[in-house]
Amino acid sequence: MDMNDVIGYALRIGVLISVSLIIIGFILLSITPQFSELMSPNSRFNTSVVKPEEVFRGIRKGNGVDFILLGLMALIATPVVRVVLGVIQFAMQRNIIYVIITLIVLFNLLLAIFILPLII
């Protein structure tokens, strides 16, 4: 299998997982009284940082909001996976310049996802 095919499948699978989790979350919200949680001024959607462990705890409880948040986390992770696969692809081609450039892009993505929210 060609590396471009792997990258294409990774992107498709990431988006499908994300959409599926978000749809499940909306279905769970529609059949439970949690919908008012979205409209509350204290809603978790109004926060800038959501701890992943809270999301996973909520998933175990069947919380629709947490399914939506996990779907959004999967959607954010999809391009990161694509960049990691790009590093692997360029390394297999022994293209050092593009490996370095792609590693810089990966560093910037991870910085923006994990470090900047703590600073801002």
Question: What pLDDT digit, counting tens, does each position of 20-77 carry?
Answer: 999 999 898 888 766 666 666 666 665 556 788 888 998 998 888 889 999 999 999 9
What pTM value is reported for the model?
0.81
Residue 87: its pLDDT value, please? 96
Residue 53: its pLDDT value, please? 87
Residue 86 has pLDDT above 60, yes or no: yes
What secondary structure, in 3-state letters, does the chain show? Answer: CCHHHHHHHHHHHHHHHHHHHHHHHHHHHHHCCCHHHHHCCCCHHHCCCCCHHHHHHHHHCCCHHHHHHHHHHHHHHHHHHHHHHHHHHHHHCCCHHHHHHHHHHHHHHHHHHHHHHHHC
